[in-house]
Structure 1
């Protein structure tokens, strides 16, 4: 049976943990925040403290990024929060990182769209 992208996202959301932005903000220093949107999408701004790693290259770059951010080779238990525009790609990304063995992975519910709708600010991307 073929699945649509919506079917795939729905299945992923059953296997991952989504958190609302207020829960993320209450404990934001605990997380490594990653924006998985495409380059043209982040030009409009990102959530402060986020690093842009596009969904298409996340699996290839996650180990290096976490080691750089934490200054440690021990990255198994790093808390990772992911977001995209709506929460769909970040759900797929969270599931993929779980398949890679990461256990403390979250997707921001509603993505950056919900973030903006809730009145939270964005910052410009520093190139």
Structure 2
């Protein structure tokens, strides 16, 4: 995907201050049944086209509005993902500003997940 230079600069600045996890870490944790909230922040149409099994949809456009209803405990472990790891990093930074203390962004997003032929559901 071709992102604008200002968007990439913003994302680089944010990613320096956000915890990132790898697709391999998340795949292993899901396989073990580790408890954590997996949240897909992509657009509804992207989510409908395919997602990581067990993911909940809270699009980046509404996550700030809806997160407290979905996860009222601000210490809940939340892993966010998007298409490539940019939107999820921005959302993770925002949730941190809202008081959530255990939020991470899955680097590489679902594109990397698909590239490794990891399981998806539709």
Which segments of 5 or more consecutive residues in structure 2 lack a partner in the other structure? none
CA distance in 2: counterparts of 1:17 and 1:88, whole angstroms: 13
Size of the alignment, in residue pairs? 115
Q: Tell me the C-alpha RMSD between the 2 structures.
A: 1.3
Q: Given that residues 18 and 92 in structure 2 are in contact (C-alpha distance below 8 angstroms), is that contact kept between their aligned partners in structure 1? A: yes
TM-score by length of 1: 0.85
CA distance in 1: counterparts of 2:70 and 2:11, whole angstroms: 25
1:62 and 2:67 aligned: yes
| Correspondence 1:109-120 to 2 at 5 A | 109-120=107-118
1:4 and 2:6 aligned: yes
TM-score by length of 2: 0.89
Identify the residue that residue 120 of structure 2 maps to in structure 1: 122
User: What is the SS of the residue equivalent to 2:16?
Assistant: helix
Give how far 1:22 is off. 1.6
Identify the residue that residue 99 of structure 1 maps to in structure 2: 97
Q: Deviations over 1:52-79 (max 9, x none)?
A: 1110100000010114xxxxxxx12100
Identify the residue that residue 83 of structure 1 maps to in structure 2: 81
Runs of 4+ in 1 over 2 A off after TM superposition: 25-30
1:47 and 2:52 aligned: yes
Which segments of 5 or more consecutive residues in structure 1 lack a partner in the other structure? 68-74
Give how far 1:20 is off. 0.5
User: What is the SS of the residue equivalent to 1:40?
Assistant: helix
